[in-house]
Amino acid sequence: MLDCGPPVQWADVAGQGPLKAALEEELVWPLLRPPAYPGSPHPPRTVLLFGPRGAGKALLGRCLATQLGATLLRLRGATLAAPGPAEGARLLQAAFAAARCRPPAVLLISELDALLSARDDGAAAAGALQAPLLACLDGGCGAGADGVLVIGTTSRPAALDEATRRRFSLRFYVALPDGPARGQILQRALAQQGCVLSERELAALVQGTQGFSGGELGHLCQQAAAGAGLPGLQRPLSYKDLEAALTKVGPRASPKDLDSYVEWDKMYGSGH
């Protein structure tokens, strides 16, 4: 539950310039410098990050914790739903209680949709956890929990009903990385494999990975290393290795999926 990973700065998140600016202006600054005069509105205490799998929602959550100087506690919706409704509810309540005891704290709940009733796999525990989740959000993010920020992430925003959706005062779309961001992600991942591409090779790889998420770009580099048989990096990874990996690794999000995110963002997103 307690995340002790290294701090994540804005520069560690490739691309997403407008989104990072919106998060800083609408979330980080109000929380770090809350208005002092009586009757002023409370800073937001809940934010939903939605978008394709691997787009960097959890990384942004970690970055927000770093910017706020907050303790980070992480939960996965599927992990909460797995042991059954009673144990899942207990774990959820314990996480909110732990966050309140460690202010300032960020509670990051990934795969939020796994706790809700509209599940494709019909998980029985999922719907049973919706009521405890809403109760925790109401009790853990009120006036008495000024030191807690709750971040929910999902790749299935349409699964959120109105009651859940309106508990999150800010809702931001985390889109797939654009060309320059893909180049940055690839350079970082390849540097870990001891691979340095020419500008022409990198440009070709960026072009060939349109529609990839950051997670899929990382998987592409891992697949290239595995396909080349380089567990100990006996030789540097080459562009040909990456070309071969591209025949086996592709983007998961379809154009239809991406269109649905854009439409949901227009209807319910905070905009940026």
Residue 4 lies in a domain: no
Q: From 152, 62, 91, 77, select the one nearest 121 (Cα to Cα).
A: 77
Residue 3 lies in a domain: no
Number of domains in the chain: 2
In a shared domain, residues 171 and 183? no
pLDDT digits (tens, 9 = 90+) for 81-125: 888 888 888 998 999 999 988 889 999 999 999 888 644 444 444
Host domain of residue 15: 10-31+41-175+259-268
Q: At a CB cut-off of 8 Å and minimum separation 6, what does 48 contact? A: 112, 151, 152, 153, 154, 157, 160, 165, 168, 170, 171, 172
Residue 5 lies in a domain: no
Extract the tokens encoding 162: 């109105």
Packed helices 199-208 and 179-192: angle between N→C axes, nearest 10 degrees = 120
pLDDT digits (tens, 9 = 90+) for 201-260: 999 999 999 999 999 999 999 888 887 765 555 667 889 999 999 999 999 999 999 999
Residue 137: which CATH number?
3.40.50.300
In a shared domain, residues 165 and 186? no
In a shared domain, residues 115 and 190? no
Own/partner contacts of 11-14, CB < 8 Å, gap of 24 or more, are 12/59, 12/63, 13/56, 13/59, 13/60, 13/63, 14/56, 14/177, 14/181, 14/182, 14/184, 14/185, 14/188, 14/214
Own/partner contacts of 6-10, CB < 8 Å, gap of 24 or more, are 7/66, 8/59, 8/62, 8/63, 8/65, 8/66, 9/63, 9/66, 10/63, 10/67
Please tell me whether the overall predicted TM-score, pTM, comes out greater than 0.75 for this model.
yes
Average pLDDT, the chain: 87
Residue 23 lies in a domain: yes
In a shared domain, residues 81 and 124? yes
Residue 2 lies in a domain: no
In a shared domain, residues 147 and 201? no
In a shared domain, residues 216 and 113? no
In a shared domain, residues 119 and 91? yes
In a shared domain, residues 66 and 113? yes
Residue 209: which CATH number?
1.10.8.60
**168-184: average pLDDT:** 96
pLDDT band for position 23 (cuts 50, 70, 90): very high
In a shared domain, residues 135 and 185? no
In a shared domain, residues 169 and 81? yes
Residue 78 lies in a domain: yes
Residue 251 lies in a domain: no
pLDDT of residue 82: 82
Instruction: Give the number of other CB atoms < 10 A from CB of residue 216.
Output: 24
